[in-house]
Chain A
Amino acid sequence: MKEKVRLTTKKDSRKNFFRLLLFFAALIIPWILVSIFITKTSVKQENTEIKLINYKPDTIADVDHSKFPLLRQNFESPEQVTAACLTCHNLTASEIMHTSHWKWTKVYVTEQGDTIALGKKNIINNFCVGVPSNEPRCTSCHIGYGYKDKHFDFQDSSRIDCLICHDQTGTYEKFPTGAGYPVSTPKSFNGKEYLPPDYSFIARNVGTPRIENCGACHFVGGGGNNVKHGDIANELKEVTQEVDVHMAIDGAHMECVECHITERHEIMGNLYSIASENTNRLRCAHCHTEQPHQDNTLNRHVRKVSCQTCHIPTYAKESHTKMYWDWSRAGQFKEDGSLLVRKDSSGNIVYHSKKGAFVWENNVKPDYIWFNGKAEHYLLGEKVDSIRPMPLNQLYGNYHDKESRIIPVKKHIANQPYDPINRTIILPHLFGKDSMAYWKNFDWDKAARHGMQYVDLPYSGTYDFIETVMYWPINHMVAPADQSLQCADCHARDSRLKSLTGFYLPGRDHNNLLDLLGYALLIASFAGVLIHALLRLKNNNKSVKNN
């Protein structure tokens, strides 16, 4: 009786078989197609052709300066060269004298509505602190001659130094302590020999500034290679793509001014260790467009993440950069009373009697902050608040601000002189041949008193040290595309943006309570199911036994 009667015909069973086949095909084929699509397209993503606009890699000189009779004379002093330049470029002096390269200030309106002129001339940093009272040393990087004290005449066009930017021979050099002048007789500084320049030769060989011209000052800010910026250093004159795709000799091999477009001596680009306003900024998009990626998910990131964030995974790739400076430890000497200088294995000075202790780093992962192009700076004489380390340049921005993007920064922390009574940062008189300079007599009190008096600010007579921080936006040393950050560098529990809180970042963030609830729910359902199943099995066995 139990025999089953199969009533389906052969035709039916074949039909059923095909139906089943079709069903499984419909279920499986889309998955195969999707997986093929994915494997094919991920190969396609390797295509890294770069979109470029607005970029003209070469400019041809309009004139050959070596042919001008005016420049065939014998120049005795650098001012004579400047005078010769201004004979033809007779409107250029006023151009120059409006630039921040000359004035060392920029006018801007503070949050409080005050209009102030702020720049290298009067700002406080946490390296050698400030220019006033230390001019002859600092102003070796001024594009002028004789900025030796606060009485320098910024209206005197004869003092413009044309050659520091326009020399094409590579032989023109200002002396490090010469207030912007080259030497007139051979002199040495820190073991390096400086010779009087051949002005006539140089004057006949001028042209558009090259990386060597810009680098002469900008690569050695803070008194040595790569001390300040971290992302621009002498090695950029000859690097491979791994270090900087733009400057690389095997890459674009660009000059500074190809990005830092200059019109009438106004150079584009800000650095917010000094700059304050969201103007005159260089944008990668100028050449690379606002939608530079083939992947739209990446392009959507542009609204919140600056290009630099992903494309500069590390800075100070070759030479080290200074990360920490402790002035409080300055003034220790060898037993014989001579200057104590200690170097690390890479040759970086980690202690100097004149300057204190340093920490250097190499291949540094940047810190990250929100930035909208606006900054505020600690001004000379301002009261210090209680935040430590005390920010000397506050870069503004936050997640909720439309203009803000995440940018990479170098954080330089220092322990620097401070007046605890007046609650002001001290501008010490460091350099000078007089008895008050710290680097002569190693007396902080005298240095502080003289420095503060020089800028007409009170000094209580008590000094201490305060921890300060400066944020240096990282814009150079762009890595090749395949070395840029990957998603998981930020979108992971152990994220590069770990300290950038206050917003939800997928992959990094989660709500502990919610996750706990979720796990509890899952565990509860597993446990419930397990208990239920065990009870069923038990009762099943019982009923089998009973039967």
Chain B
Amino acid sequence: MIKKEEYIYKWFERFWHWSQALLIFFLALTGFEVHGLYHLFGFENAVFLHDIAAWAFLVLIVFAIFWHFVTGEWKQYIPTTKYIKAQIAYYITGIFKGAPHPTHKTVYNKFNPLQRIIYLGLKLLVIPVMVITGIIYMYYTYPNNPIEISGLGLIAHIHTFGAFALMAFVVAHVYLTTTGETPLASIKAMITGWEVVTLDEKEAHKVHMQKAVDDSVAGYYRLDSKGFFVEVNDAWLSMYKYSNKSDVIGKHYSLTRKSEDLQELDHIFQSVMKGKSITSKPVKRKCSDGSTGKHLLSANPVTTEDAVIGIEGFILDLDETHEFSEHMYDAVRDSGAGYYRLDEQGIIRDVNEAWLKLYKYDKKEEVIGLPCSFLRPEGEVEEFNQIFRHVMQGETLSGKITMRKCKDGTLARHISSASPIVMGNKIVGVNGFILDLSELDVSTRV
């Protein structure tokens, strides 16, 4: 399990939520006075204030609807029956035993199935009914009106019952906010927007891998079973000097090689389609303008349950002008690229198998949660911290040769890339790749 602070509630969402909370509270306060339950503002003022608040609420609703559709956040409310039993069981029994929440909050799925159903019910049933009956209540004078209902009774009763239902919802809603990480965590999250969420490894890995791919200096590609491009990222495009994805997608991979190099690639493609993985093979590419460049290629089969349906992988540029390029070209040949991810405080949140191998660890759990700085020889910690700060301010770093301290205390060299992880409009961490250089005595070669 990985715990992480995520930016879940956008500023408008929070503004909307709290305004709505205030308005519902105020509407209930004045509404139940109009209902005759107590004397607080006086009937006249209560009606006046109730009407004003109702109009304010209506304006807020219009903005909220707009926001939900523009941001696509409405999808968060699509009801699902998946895990709903588990969620109910959790509230009835699991919570007392300290069992974990059966569902996990992410930026893309911030409501549990019960919340989805209840909130959707509020949005599609309770609030529209309250708004419609409220408007009729305000303007309806029987029988001098086109709508034929005999009097306000029914309208008023529906409106009143809706108010009771909303109040019951508020009670349960406020109580359930205390079932988060800590009793006040959910309320704090609704104020600041940030909430510590527990992510399951696979999901987080997927999400961050995707993110890493999108942002990294490493080029990513995916081909279908016949060798046609399905996907490439921006880094890939820039290495190949294309300006548009559409120039590449759907084309055959043969356009990426000079004819004399194509046979090698055919060979790679066929072997990967048979299930083999290629890690860091130095190759020569043909760019869109006909120029050439060197990069490291990795390729893995893309599989469904039983068949290989394509290949995907990364390419890391080995720029000809880079002073170490030749060495690296040799160095990283056949070596696996290690992937790592740090949070904004420099704590390791994720690494891959290749990374573990390079650092001589056996399991991820040994390093996840530790600050990255301990992976450096003491003399280089300050330099590392400086790099980390730069990346956290938005810089991207590639091809930096650094010294690592392995599990057994031995030192080794690698070349690393680091790019910021951007979430919303905030940098929330750093990720990148490392390529081993330990087999080479760089200093003698230079």
**Complex Cα spacing A1 to B352, Å:** 23
Are A521 and B36 in touch, CB under 8 angstroms?
no
Q: Does B175 make an interface contact (CB < 8 A)?
A: yes
Segment 24-62 of A: residues with Cβ below 8 Å from B = 26-27, 30-31, 34, 37-38, 42
Given A526-B171, A532-B175, A514-B160 contact (CB < 8 Å): yes
B83 at the interface (CB under 8 A from A): no
Q: Are A27 and B19 in contact (CB under 8 A)?
A: yes
Within 8 A of B (CB), among A465-480: none
Cross-chain contact of A539 among B98, B344, B370 (Cβ < 8 A): B98
A338 within 8 A of B: no
**CB-based contact A504/B152 at 8 Å:** yes
List A residues 483-516 near B (Cβ within 8 Å): 486-488, 491-493, 503-504, 506-511, 514-515
Chain A residues near B344 (CB, 8 Å)? Answer: 7
CB-defined contacts of A522 to chain B, threshold 8 Å:
164, 167-168, 171
Stretch at the interface among B141-149, B284-292, B328-336: B141-149
Q: B161–A517 contact, CB under 8 A?
A: yes
Q: Is the CB of A514 within 8 A of B171?
A: no
Tell me if B52 and A487 are in contact (CB < 8 A): no
* A-side contacts of B164, CB under 8 Å: 517-519, 521-522
Report B194 CB to chain A, min CB distance, Å.
Answer: 11
Closest residue of chain A to B42, judged by CB?
A488
In contact, B144 and A34 (Cβ under 8 angstroms): no
B392 lies within 8 A of chain A by Cβ: yes
Q: Mark A261-301, 1 if CB is under 8 A from B, else 0.
A: 00000000000000000000000000000000000010010
* Contact B36 A492, beta carbon cutoff 8 Å: yes
Mostly helix, strand, loop or mixed at chain B's interface?
helix
The answer on a CB contact under 8 Å between A504 and B156 is: yes
Q: Chain A: which residue is nearest B92 at the CB level?
A: A532
Measured between alpha carbons, how far is A19 from B160 in the docked complex, in Å?
A: 38
Q: In the assembled complex, how far is the CB of residue B278 from the closest CB belonging to chain A, in whole angstroms?
A: 37
Cβ of A402: which chain B residues have Cβ within 8 Å of it?
A: 143-144
Q: Name the distance in Å between B332's Cβ and chain A's nearest Cβ.
A: 31
User: Judging by beta carbons under 8 Å apart, are A510 and B143 in contact?
Assistant: no
Q: What is the 8 Å Cβ interface bit string for chain B, positions 33-69, against chain A (1 contact, 0 not)?
A: 0111001001111011100100010000000000000
Inter-subunit contact A488/B15 (CB<8 Å): no
Question: Which of A27, A503, A528 is B151 in contact with, Cβ under 8 Å?
Answer: A503
Contacts of B143 in A (CB 8 A): 400-402
Give which listed residue, A7, A26, A34, A488, contacts B43 with CB less than 8 A: A488
Complex contact B141–A521 (CB within 8 A): no
- B74 part of interface (Cβ distance < 8 Å): no
Q: How many residues of A contact B (CB 8 A)?
A: 56
Is A38 within 8 A of B48, CB to CB?
Answer: yes
B307-323 CB contact bits vs A (8 Å, 1 = yes)? 00000000000000000
Bound together, the chains give a CA A546 to CA B444 distance in angstroms of: 62
Per a CB cutoff under 8 Å, which of B47, B161, B163 touches A487? B47
A189 at interface, CB cutoff 8 A = no
Given the known interface contacts A402-B143, A525-B168, the answer about A506 and B34 at a Cβ–Cβ threshold of 8 Å is yes
A34 interface neighbour in B56, B96, B97, B346, Cβ under 8 Å: B56
Asked if B95 is at the interface of the complex by the 8 Å CB criterion, the answer is yes
List B residues 294-309 near A (Cβ within 8 Å): none
- Cα A30 to Cα B344 with chains together (Å): 36
CB neighbours (8 Å) of B246 from chain A are: none
Instruction: Using known A-B contacts A488-B44, A522-B171, determine if residue A7 contacts B160 with beta carbons closer than 8 Å.
Output: no
B49 and A525: CB pair below 8 A? no
Judging by beta carbons under 8 Å apart, are B35 and A303 in contact? no
Task: Report if B81 contacts A (CB, 8 A).
Answer: no
A116 close to B (CB within 8 Å): no
In the docked arrangement, what's the CA distance between A536 and B172, Å?
15
Are A536 and B95 closer than 8 Å at their CB atoms? yes
B184: Cβ under 8 A from any A Cβ: no
Contact with B along A48-90 (1 / 0, CB 8 A): 0000000000000000000000000000000000000000000
Give the residue of B19, B96, B150 whose beta carbon is less than 8 angstroms from that of A535: B96
Closest-by-CB residue of A relative to B137 is: A506
B40 to chain A, nearest CB (A): 12
A528 touches B172 (CB 8 A): yes
- A4, B345: Cβ atoms under 8 Å? yes
Q: Is the Cβ of B171 less than 8 Å from the Cβ of A23? A: no
Residues of chain A within 8 A (CB-CB) of B39 are 488
Contact across chains for B167 and A507 when beta carbons are under 8 A apart: no
Asked whether A400 and B172 contact (CB < 8 A) given A7-B344, A517-B161, the answer is no
B153 near A510 with CB under 8 A, answer: no
Q: In the complex, which residues of chain B have a beta carbon less than 8 angstroms from the beta carbon of A1? A: 370-371
Q: Is there an interface contact between B156 and A506, defined as CB atoms closer than 8 Å?
A: yes
Complex Cα distance, B389 from A492, in Å, reads 67
In the complex, residue of chain B having the shortest beta-carbon distance to the beta carbon of A298: B44
Q: Are A27 and B15 in contact (CB under 8 A)?
A: yes
Across the interface, which residues of B come within 8 angstroms of A194, CB to CB? none
From B98, B157, B175, give the contact of A514 (CB < 8 A). Answer: B157
Nearest A residue to B139 via CB reads: A300
A9's nearest neighbour on chain B, judged by CB, is B393
Taken together as a complex, chains A and B put the C-alpha atoms of A7 and B165 apart, in Å, by: 46
| Interface members, chain B 5-47 (any A CB < 8 Å) | 11, 14-15, 18-19, 22, 34-36, 39, 42-45, 47
Q: Which residues of B contact A526 (CB under 8 A)?
A: 171
Q: Is the CB of A27 within 8 A of B345?
A: no
Q: Is A543 an interface residue (CB 8 A)?
A: yes
Residue positions of B touching A, CB distance < 8 A: 11, 14-15, 18-19, 22, 34-36, 39, 42-45, 47-49, 52, 56, 91, 95-98, 137, 141-144, 150-153, 156-157, 160-161, 163-165, 167-168, 171-172, 175, 178, 344-346, 370-371, 389, 392-393
| 15 contacts across the A-B interface (CB closer than 8 A) | A5-B371, A37-B52, A38-B48, A400-B142, A488-B43, A504-B156, A506-B34, A510-B35, A515-B160, A518-B167, A522-B171, A525-B171, A526-B171, A529-B172, A539-B96
In the complex, given contacts A491-B34, A493-B36, A522-B164, what are 5 additional A-B residue pairs having Cβ atoms less than 8 angstroms apart? A34-B52, A503-B152, A521-B165, A525-B171, A536-B95
Which 3 A/B pairs are nearest by Cβ-Cβ distance?
A: A518-B164, A504-B153, A529-B175
